[in-house]
Structure 1
Amino acid sequence: MVSENSSLDKKGRSVVLKWIPFIARPFLIVFNLIFVFFGIGLLMAGVISMTHLRSYVRTLGPDLSVVPVLFAALGCVVILVSVMGVLGGITMNSFVLACYSGLMLVLIFGELALGFVTMKEQQSVENETKIRVMKAMAFYNFQQASKITVDAIQKWLKCCGIVDYRDWITVLGKSEVPASCCVTPGNCQRMYNLTDSNKPPFGVRTNGCRTALNTWMRNNMGKVTFVVLLLCGLQILGVVLGVLLVCSTKMKWMSEEKDLK
């Protein structure tokens, strides 16, 4: 009876040792290769923001200059952890796999904490962004960087002014709007009559950037939350695969040691 149980136990171990690496190993390698490219994307986004979009970031506030650095740093961490996962999957080294699983857990908790803080401080972020856009508008005629940034925001959000197009009277000192307020460039009435300012000029966007910015943030917050949760879910899968491979490696080592005895 004992020998029969021992035989069944040995058979069960052999099945586990065979199928866990067979299933988990390729999944772990492919999964982490995908995350390597994701990390490269984050790193490139950070570097591009630090170089090509430097004037935009500085105009909207010095605090935002940290964001590209964070993107680049997060990209480097993701690449490092993912490469470790690929190497662990290829070599089946239990130490590398254990380090990978631990670092991935730390990364998951960091992402969840960042997502929670962002959602909690959403209103503060919206208010701060509005203030910075207003400051950029105030320097529209005096700083080229402010002019470029405000024009880019108005084209991107398809808006004009903070509340509406009439905000530009105080900025430009005349009843005129920038070309970035036009629905179709070159086909709009940029100057209008002050006595009839309630009637929107032809071809000029009537919605303000404050409303457009609020709408954009609220529309995209759900998408950002979904992406963060999806990434965390995939990373948890990576941790599970890593732990399974560590366990199977240890079981194989113990089985071989037991067979030698």
Structure 2
Amino acid sequence: MKCINPLLLAGVLATATGVHANSLNPVVEKSAAINDSALKTQGKIDSISDSMQSKLQQFKTLNKEIDGLMVYNSQLDKQIQNQLAEMADINASMDQVSVIERQITPLMLKMITGLEQFVALDVPFLLEERKQRVSKLREMMERADVTSSEKFRRVLEAYQVEVEYGRTIEAYPALINVAGQEREVDFLRIGRLELMYVTKDGKTAGIWEKETKQFKELPDTNISQINKALRIARKQLAPDMLTLPINAAK
């Protein structure tokens, strides 16, 4: 058996090791490059994944907004349809108002004429005041700055005043002709049933007669009761039983 020189063996091993190391270096470098490339690729993948998640979230948010807008638009569409229907109703009503306005003016004029005739035929209490009310209504009808609705309201108001006269009692002063002389008297109105007076000196009393359309003098025995009724009408006395002359219905 031959002996190998240790020095020679060491040299051979060193040479082999050097040769092997030199052949592995490119492999190691290539592997490192691959790892670097893999890391960069993973970074890009992570970045793309994050971007996709963000865009997905945006997509979901936009979908919710779109759903909300669709509901809102549907509600607006219903409101618009209702408003269009209301506009159509208003236009139709305006056309009807024009027709009604043409019809209501003659009606109001007839009502004023009727009121004027009623006052002339009625018991003559507050006669000047009531005549002036009718006169003002006629003047109002000629004014262009007063709407038809306001005119109609005032005509109805005048009728309402006349209706209230029939439900109340009233005392008021006035001047009338008594026995050929103009005298100041206190009138007592009991609804539309009776109209009586007492002179300021308390010596003469009278009552309106519907048949003769004039005042008739009353006996002195009625004066105290009429004065009491005047005080009740002025709220100076509590309501109480009274004995007053009454025109009997025929």
TM-score by length of 1: 0.32
Q: Counting strand residues as a fraction of each chain, which structure ranks higher?
A: 2
Q: Counting helix residues as a fraction of each chain, which structure ranks higher?
A: 1
Compare relative contact order (CA 8 Å, sep 6+) and give the higher one, 1 or 2: 1
Larger radius of gyration: 2
TM-score by length of 2: 0.33
